[in-house]
């Protein structure tokens, strides 16, 4: 009986803690809906995909609300509905399909709202307690609690690219919770709900706050993420047997460079067709997706250390990311 009483007390304390966190952040959770909710060309993966979604206030003064791109894709005109039922017209001012993120601007003056701050998603571990929130009906906030199941998960995003670094949790994302926040025990945003897999019970994926914080400044200033490109066309290729060991590389694949664009950052660095790119800024590059991840958050003017294999030699190079890189804008990297 003593063990049962201790278990009951623990569960009551846990439930009270979750309720307190939900209550403290609920005012920041909104419903987001397109003016046209027919759902043409919408990205639908899993049960979280509906014709509306949720959002979270991240800056009251600037009127910024963060949501999932697939919720507001194809339109700039959206409606925001607060937890008290009040509806406000808003505009999508930024989009990042590669990470399924969108930024909305709305006039929040005179409204009793508060912004949620970002937490450190890199501090999460399997077993960390998280709470998923959303406002699917517009007049009430819904929440599910659970733990982090796994980190650094991947999923193909709205434009077909590989979204990486995702947080997997068993906190269920119900329909309409896409774009709502995943918060930690401090009520801080550590992720944004993006997908719940129907065919795999318990697999719910959120974009990590580490990714979001790299993207939001560009969305606010430019409307898109300004991603510097190297100016190459390449493909994932396996390193032939013994080469990685000979060069003391802890990877089996790299990016084989077919073409280097004229006037690009790559050509200025001395990279040549036939080179195999294996490291960018200290990160192993094993394919075009991992190359895109290595460049996420980088700015024009940044100088990166890269390693390429040329014949049997491993060459160290410096590459400066340049803004005037028209040739590279139409290439994957």
In terms of Cα–Cα distance, which of 19, 29, 17 is closest to 193? Answer: 29
Q: Which of 178, 209, 264, 292 is catalytic?
A: 178
100 included as an active-site residue: yes
Which tokens hold the place of 171? 């906190």
**Which tokens in the block code for residue 32?**
């987001």
CA-CA distance, 284 to 303, in Å (whole number)?
Answer: 17
Q: Is position 139 annotated as part of the catalytic site?
A: no
d(CA 119, CA 131): 13
Q: Are 39 and 33 in contact (CB under 8 A)?
A: no
40 catalytically annotated: no
DSSP strand pairing (87-96 vs 52-59)? unpaired
Distance in angstroms (rounded) separating the CA atoms of residues 301 and 211: 21
Catalytic residue among 54, 64, 96, 100: 100
Strand partners, 101: 96
Catalytically annotated residue among 28, 70, 128, 333? 70
Token pair for 228: 């510097």
Q: Which residues are catalytic?
A: 70, 100, 178
């Amino acid at each position: 009986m003593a063990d049962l009483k201790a278990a009951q007390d623990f569960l009551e304390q846990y439930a009270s803690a979750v309720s307190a966190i939900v209550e403290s952040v609920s005012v920041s959770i909104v419903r987001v809906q397109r003016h046209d909710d027919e759902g043409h060309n919408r990205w639908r993966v899993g049960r979280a995909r509906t014709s509306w979604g949720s959002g979270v206030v991240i800056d009251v003064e600037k009127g910024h609300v963060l949501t999932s791109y697939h919720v507001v894709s194809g339109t700039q005109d959206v409606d925001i509905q607060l937890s008290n039922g009040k509806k406000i017209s808003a505009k999508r001012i930024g989009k990042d399909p590669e990470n399924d993120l969108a930024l909305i601007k709305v006039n929040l003056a005179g409204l009793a709202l508060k912004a949620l701050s970002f937490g450190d998603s890199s501090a999460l571990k399997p077993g960390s307690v998280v709470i998923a929130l959303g406002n699917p009906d517009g007049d009430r906030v819904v929440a599910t609690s659970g733990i982090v199941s796994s980190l650094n998960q991947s999923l193909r995003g709205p434009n077909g690219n590989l979204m990486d670094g995702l947080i997997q949790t068993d906190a269920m994302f119900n329909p309409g919770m896409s774009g709502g926040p995943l918060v930690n025990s401090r009520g801080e945003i550590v992720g944004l709900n993006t997908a719940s897999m129907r065919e795999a019970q318990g697999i719910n994926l959120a974009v990590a706050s580490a990714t979001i914080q790299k993207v939001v400044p560009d969305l606010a200033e430019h409307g898109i993420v300004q991603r510097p490109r190297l100016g190459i066309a390449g493909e994932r290729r396996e390193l032939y047997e013994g080469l990685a060991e000979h060069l003391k590389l802890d990877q089996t694949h790299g990016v084989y460079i077919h073409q280097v664009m004229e006037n690009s950052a790559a050509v200025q660095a001395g990279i040549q067709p036939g080179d195999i790119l294996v490291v960018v800024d200290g990160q192993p590059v094993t394919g075009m997706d991992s190359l895109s991840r290595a460049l996420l958050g980088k700015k024009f003017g940044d100088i990166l250390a890269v390693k390429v294999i040329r014949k049997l030699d491993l060459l160290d190079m410096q590459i400066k990311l340049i803004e005037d890189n028209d040739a590279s804008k139409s290439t994957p990297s």
